[in-house]
Amino acid sequence: MRIAVVGAGPSGLVTAAVLTQFGHEVTVLEKAPDLGGVWSSTRRYPDVSTQDDRVSYAFSDVPMPADFPLHPTGNHVRAYLEHYADVKGVRDRVRLGATVERAVPAGDGWSVQVRDAQGVSLLDVDWLVLANGVFSTPHVPDWPGRDVFDATGGQVVEPTQLGDGAVLAGRDVVVVGWGKTACDVAVAASRTARSTTVVARAVRWKVPKRIAGSLTFRHLLLTRLGEHLMAPERTTRFQTLLATVDAPVRRAVLWSLAQRIARRTGARGVGLLPDTPLPYADSLVTDGFFEAVRSGRITVRRERSITALGAGDVQLSDGSRVPADVVVAATGFDQDLSPLDASVRERLLDADGVMALHRRILPADVPRLAFAGWGNTYRSPLSAEVGAVWLAGHLAGVVPAPRRDEVQRTGHRFHLTHRQAAAHRQQQVPSGSFAVLDQMLDDLGLPLPAAVRRGQWTTPLTPASYAYLVPALRARMGAVTERASVTAH
């Protein structure tokens, strides 16, 4: 089939690589001038790096180089993705500087309007895959007083616009948010800014890269046991029973872990111990963050939010004011469906503006449309790769299309904006889990070997464990074709 993939980040590239191996004619449309998606050179801030380590942030059959840092920088990740595109032979399938202006269903496929340096052209395809990511459109709150702030020389910037961070030097910087990006930016600002203040609506746990001894963040976030401790699955009766029976043990273990993390980070000593229990973990600790708070180079105003911008300052929810020349809105992302025609967007969203996707890939009411990489997970390249294999199986008829009621009842729900998620008191984007991968493998009839699955309870996940999927699915499809040929004769 002819397939257009929108986005040349990790999800778009692996989708193109996998579908190409199954004989499909794939074109990747990327509006940036280079590969990388969120790792593009056009979207960076000082010291940007992965939360994942180089082992887990990789595809199954092309590992990151062993001489990369444990947590690769943006430049390292971009170099890795370019290497992956070359190894898989998909670089020539990527059209850089190509913006999808409109995608409309046409016959049994899609008509895609693309603008690039040569002008506007139409691309007719059988399937459309949106791999523009859940981190595509930075969310910037509409703060009152923005016009006054701008007129008096203030700047509101997104983290991805910071580049080398020169705009922060010698200025009063306010960083809004508590995630990894917010703390990364705060540490970078603290080196050159006149003052650095972090305004955090909620302070959650920061997990250090090393918790105690040989126990690392990978054991907590990338093992089945760690996942069960932090957020046990309750999708079956057995899982619900297990989560109920072992709840006292989990609470005791998490309490002990919280004490170790508090000592390791020094959060209690600087008044940043979260009010919530450990399962409410936000991200990894940024190197040097708590040290900068301890030294006074970073001030944290916790349980506060900005209520207005002013002439050279910001007003907080407690009525206080903080000097500000630059406000960095590290406030997350909204999801972008703008490439799709308005009529398609209406069919994707329910009355509350929520989108449901089967296996985070297929919508209920829009045929020949798929999503790639739409999830929030510490194993995002691998999750996108398994999703691409699942989609290849669906295109081949190995994985049947879900019923509409099934998608509406059990599909993963996406709130496209922060406001929607807050109104529903739900996650904006569903988080990743081993269960998500397991479901897709079960649909394909290609579950993990039992020994591998048992090992994942205590040994952190490695993408290489999933390298069997493409060869196994191709072998199965080849056997089906051979049997059909024999039957026909």
Kindly report, residue by residue over 14-31, the tens digit of the pLDDT: 999 999 999 999 999 999
Strands (E), 131-222: 137-138, 155-157, 172-176, 195-200, 205-207, 210-212, 215-216
> How far is CA 287 from its chain centroid?
21
Lowest mean pLDDT among 36-50, 216-230, 405-419, 453-467: 405-419
**3-state class (DSSP) for residue 219:** helix
Considering the domain architecture, whether residues 37 and 181 belong to the same structural domain is answered as no
| Angle at the Cα of 403 from the Cα atoms of 401 and 404, rounded to 5 degrees | 120
pLDDT higher than threshold 90 for residue 110: yes
Beta 205-207 vs 412-415: how paired, if at all? unpaired
Q: Which long-range contacts (CB under 8 A, 24 or more apart) does 117-126 make?
A: 123/4, 123/27, 123/29, 124/2, 125/1, 125/2, 125/3, 125/4, 125/27, 126/1, 126/2, 126/3, 126/368
Crossing angle of helices 237-245 and 247-265, in 10° steps, is 60
Q: What is the DSSP letter of 298?
A: S
Q: The domain spanning residue 472 has which CATH number?
A: 3.50.50.60
Average pLDDT over residues 250-274: 93
Average pLDDT over residues 144-173: 96
Considering the domain architecture, whether residues 275 and 400 belong to the same structural domain is answered as no
User: Could you give the CA distance from residue 304 to residue 201 in angstroms, rounded to a whole number?
Assistant: 5
Q: Are 185 and 159 in contact (CB under 8 A)?
A: yes
Higher pLDDT, 483 or 90: 90
pLDDT higher than threshold 60 for residue 486: no
Lowest mean pLDDT among 31-35, 70-74, 117-121, 350-354: 350-354
pLDDT of residue 282: 62
Beta-sheet strand order (sheet of 2-6)? 94-96, 25-30, 2-6, 127-130, 369-371
Considering the domain architecture, whether residues 145 and 99 belong to the same structural domain is answered as no
pLDDT higher than threshold 60 for residue 485: no
Considering the domain architecture, whether residues 294 and 309 belong to the same structural domain is answered as yes
pLDDT higher than threshold 90 for residue 130: yes
Higher pLDDT, 453 or 276: 453
User: Could you give the CA distance from residue 202 to residue 187 in angstroms, rounded to a whole number?
Assistant: 19
Structure tokens at 164: 């080398």
Average pLDDT over residues 21-42: 95
Q: What is the pTM of this model?
A: 0.93
Nearest residue to 424 via CA among 432, 433, 416, 415: 415
Lowest mean pLDDT among 4-13, 117-126, 273-282, 387-396: 273-282
Considering the domain architecture, whether residues 310 and 405 belong to the same structural domain is answered as no
Label residues 221-242 b or e (16+ Cβ within 10 Å = b). bbbbebbbbbebbeeeeeeeee
Which of these three, 317, 332, 347, is where a domain ends? 332
pLDDT of residue 479: 62
pLDDT of residue 465: 97
pLDDT of residue 34: 96
Considering the domain architecture, whether residues 173 and 71 belong to the same structural domain is answered as no
How many CB atoms are located within 10 Å of the residue 358 CB?
23
Structure tokens at 440: 């897709």
pLDDT higher than threshold 70 for residue 280: no
% residues pLDDT > 70 (the chain):
97
Average pLDDT over residues 28-47: 93
pLDDT higher than threshold 60 for residue 489: no
Considering the domain architecture, whether residues 443 and 357 belong to the same structural domain is answered as yes
Considering the domain architecture, whether residues 6 and 22 belong to the same structural domain is answered as yes
pLDDT higher than threshold 50 for residue 429: yes
Q: Which long-range contacts (CB under 8 A, 24 or more apart) does 211-219 make?
A: 211/257, 211/260, 211/261, 211/264, 212/260, 212/264, 216/460, 217/284, 218/53, 218/56, 218/460, 219/458, 219/460
User: Could you give the CA distance from residue 436 to residue 22 in angstroms, rounded to a whole number?
Assistant: 23
pLDDT higher than threshold 50 for residue 98: yes
Which of these three, 276, 308, 332, is where a domain ends? 332
Task: Give the amino acid at 346.
Answer: E
Q: Which residues pair with 197 in a beta bridge?
A: 174, 299
Indicate the helix (H) or strand (E) that contains 371. Answer: strand 369-371
Q: Are 391 and 131 in contact (CB under 8 A)?
A: no
Q: Give per-residue pLDDT as tens, 339-352.
A: 999 999 999 998 88
With bands split at pLDDT 50, 70 and 90, how would you rate the model's confidence at 421? confident
Considering the domain architecture, whether residues 344 and 250 belong to the same structural domain is answered as no
User: Could you give the CA distance from residue 331 to residue 198 in angstroms, rounded to a whole number?
Assistant: 12
pLDDT of residue 484: 47
Label residues 402-414 b or e (16+ Cβ within 10 Å = b). beeeebeeebbbb
Question: Rounded mean pLDDT of the chain?
Answer: 91
Considering the domain architecture, whether residues 275 and 167 belong to the same structural domain is answered as yes
Considering the domain architecture, whether residues 54 and 16 belong to the same structural domain is answered as yes
pLDDT higher than threshold 90 for residue 458: yes
Which of these three, 332, 357, 378, is where a domain ends? 332
Nearest residue to 383 via CA among 205, 216, 222: 222
Q: Which residues pair with 216 in a beta bridge?
A: 210
Lowest mean pLDDT among 174-183, 192-201, 219-228, 443-452: 219-228
User: Could you give the CA distance from residue 29 to residue 119 in angstroms, rounded to a whole number?
Assistant: 14
The alpha carbon dihedral of 12, 13, 18, 19 has a sign of: positive
Q: Which residues pair with 283 in a beta bridge?
A: 206
Q: Give per-residue pLDDT as tens, 262-273.
A: 999 999 999 999
What is the tally of structural domains in the chain?
2
Most confident stretch, 208-212, 327-331, 430-434: 327-331
Full domain range(s) for residue 273: 140-332
Considering the domain architecture, whether residues 203 and 306 belong to the same structural domain is answered as yes
User: Could you give the CA distance from residue 87 to residue 401 in angstroms, rounded to a whole number?
Assistant: 32
Q: Give per-residue pLDDT as tens, 294-334.
A: 999 999 999 999 999 999 999 999 999 999 999 999 998 88
pLDDT of residue 340: 95
